[in-house]
Amino acid sequence: METEPRNVRRILLCTNPILRKKAQTVQRADKALRRLLDEMVETMEAAPGLGLAAPQVGESLRCCVVATPEDGPARKLVNPRIVARQGRVTDPEGCLSLPTLQGLVQRSRKITVKALDERMRPDTFEAEGVFARAIQHELDHLDGVLFIDRAIDGELAWQVPDETEEDGIRLEPVTVEEALEVFARLANERGEEG
């Protein structure tokens, strides 16, 4: 039995200038927007990741998709904004545009989000835990902010496979500057902007 081909898009590395620009407000729902959101879900799932913002796939639009295992299917958010925040929590965070890099980032524990769905219908909901963290991370992308901009100083590290570690990963400390140099070389090898 053949499976339908997936519409997976290339995820841009952090060095691409589009990831440092404020994304444009989505003005209307159309087939192109729905197709983009569907492709973003497929790209996020294939990566795999917990969220993906339109600028990460080269589209400067204020939309993102987020899915965490405990919160069900992917949520498609158009023109999202956080209208309330509660509590603070510091946890490790990574990003599909900065592969294998991790840092400790402080975020709100619980948030209230106002957004539109893919047909531009209003959607207001609360999120907490990993779901809230993922949404805040993706909304940062819509404003040209990367998690390394928010990471606690001295708490950035590469995730290096290591069979001697209990979870199979060893953390190797790195500075923001060193990490960005690595991503610039990688972007150059891939023939990407940056």
Q: Catalytic positions, please?
A: 138
d(CA 192, CA 194): 6
Largest CA distance in the chain: 52
Q: Tell me the H-state helices in 92-146.
A: 129-142
Which has the closest alpha carbon to 151: 129, 126, 180? 180
d(CA 82, CA 115): 9
d(CA 168, CA 158): 13
CB 58 within 8 A of CB 18: yes
